[in-house]
Amino acid sequence: MKYLLLTESEWDLCEQQACAKFSLPDANARKYARKSLVTNPNNLNYGKFIFPVATVGKWKCDDLFPDAISEDDNWNDPNNSPDEPPGE
């Protein structure tokens, strides 16, 4: 998996392109991806939207998005981890 870091309008455009490639919505899926944000305020990309770009398998679309990058562990705020209950 690779990723693009985008403004919300750029994310929406990429979502439209991926949906067009896979003829979505269909009986199996309503959309290609779910929006998520860079939540770490110390990351240069804070506030940008993370668009997943599959590089293998049924949803492979890296041909549409050749500038996709590898995941950065610093995109998520370490003080607000989704894997831990709040306040822990």
- CA 35 to centroid of chain Cα atoms: 6
- Could you tell me what percentage of the chain is helix, strand and coil, using 3-state DSSP and rounding each to the nearest 5? 25, 15, 65
| Spatial separation of the C-alpha atoms in residues 77 and 80, rounded to whole Å | 5
Q: What letter represents residue 77's amino acid?
A: D
Least confident of 9-23, 33-47, 54-68, 73-87: 73-87
Are the C-beta atoms of 11 and 17 separated by less than 8 Å? no
Q: 17-31, pLDDT tens digit by residue?
A: 999 999 999 988 999
Q: Is 2 helix (H, G, I), strand (E, B) or coil?
A: strand
Domain boundaries, the chain: 2-70
Beta strands in the chain (DSSP E): 2-6, 49-53
Q: Token digits for 1?
A: 């998996």
pLDDT in tens, 42-60: 999 999 999 999 999 999 9
